[in-house]
Amino acid sequence: MKMMSSKGSGPASIWEEEIERSESYLVSSLYEESASSASSILKWLSKHSEDLEAGDPFELYDMLESAGMVLVQSFKQLGSTSEILNELKLLFVSVPTIPVQLLLTGACFYISEGHSHSIQEFLEEFLSRWSFVNEQYVLVGTGENADDAEKCDGPFLLGVDKYLEVVEVYVL
């Protein structure tokens, strides 16, 4: 899959073209294609994450979340919800680095199809890596300074409300 285009290069072209293409496959009920495309995008983003984070880490986070949402929705439509957790672990390498909305959506799809095994362990792995600092959660080991960072959900910061949403799913 070619990730750069004639419209431009870098994250903006991926956002505009590749992610939109995978979303188009999804809304056109081409679930195999959307899952494959989203998976390829996530692998590419993971491979190039250090370069992309040097620009705008929130742009990378948004791209990961968008491509991941296409992936989990495609898996749900394909009847492959039992594979969602494993696929997310493979693509993101570390459970705590999965964008929180993607984590919640994937977990809810997983549970809704009757797959309750291993969900608590998966969510516990996510929750255990966040530390409460200055009225928000900071991903442990990122070196992010909660005093200097904006108060919003993102790659290294998590608002209390989002953290509690994960806790709610964990206790189900």
pTM of whole model > 0.85?
Answer: no
Judged against a pLDDT cut of 80, whether residue 36 lies above it is answered with: yes
Q: What is the reported pLDDT for 149?
A: 43
- At 87-98, the pLDDT tens digits run 999 999 889 989
Tell me the C-alpha distance between 30 and 10, whole Å. Answer: 26
The structural domains of the chain, with segments of one domain joined by +, span 1-78, 92-172
Q: Which residues contact 48 (CB under 8 A, 6 or more apart)?
A: none
Q: Residue 118's pLDDT is what?
A: 86
Q: What token pair was written down for 105?
A: 């959506």
Instruction: Return the structure tokens found at 127.
Output: 């929750």
More confident residue, 95 or 153: 95
| Distance of alpha carbon 163 from alpha carbon 144, whole angstroms | 17
Is the confidence at residue 170, as pLDDT, over 50? yes
